[in-house]
Amino acid sequence: MHEYSIVTALIEQCEQLALDNNAHAITRVEIKLGILSGVEPSLLNTAFDTFKLEGICRNADLIMHIQPLVIACNDCGQQTEHKQRNVICSHCQSNNTRVLDGEDMMLMLLELEQNEELQG
């Protein structure tokens, strides 16, 4: 399951950002997850809950914002948003389309708890 390696990289990124910002804990991790990213949300959530236990993310909630697929049709010029994995233009039924959004997984927000002595 490749969600494990994705979560490992996500947690490493979170740990580095926490270190860079002198934080001792992460309480919330928000990501944008495209429906064409190849990542299964339920498996990603399970992997996050498994791997966060020993580190700085141990009390963090994982919030996933599922990004619909946004395509542009090269034939009719229309943009459409799909909640399913479908690259056919809903206006003219062409498959001559390009994906504008919905393929990526991006870290959007971290909620950090900073070390007490540096808070002001």
Q: 57: number of CA atoms within 13 Å, CB side?
A: 24
Q: Would you state the structure tokens that stand for residue 82, as one six-digit string?
A: 């799909």
Please give the full DSSP string across 26-43, using - where no structure is assigned.
EEEEEEEEETTSS--HHH
14 is in an annotated binding site: no
24 is in an annotated binding site: no
57 is in an annotated binding site: no
What distance in Å separates the CA atoms of residue 29 and residue 87, rounded to the nearest whole number? 30
Residue 34 neighbours by CB under 8 Å, 6+ apart? 66, 67, 69, 101, 102, 103, 104, 105
Beta bridge partners of 110: 29
Task: Point out the annotated binding site.
Answer: 2, 73, 76, 89, 92
Task: Point out the annotated binding site for Ni(2+).
Answer: 2
Task: Point out the annotated binding site for Zn(2+).
Answer: 73, 76, 89, 92
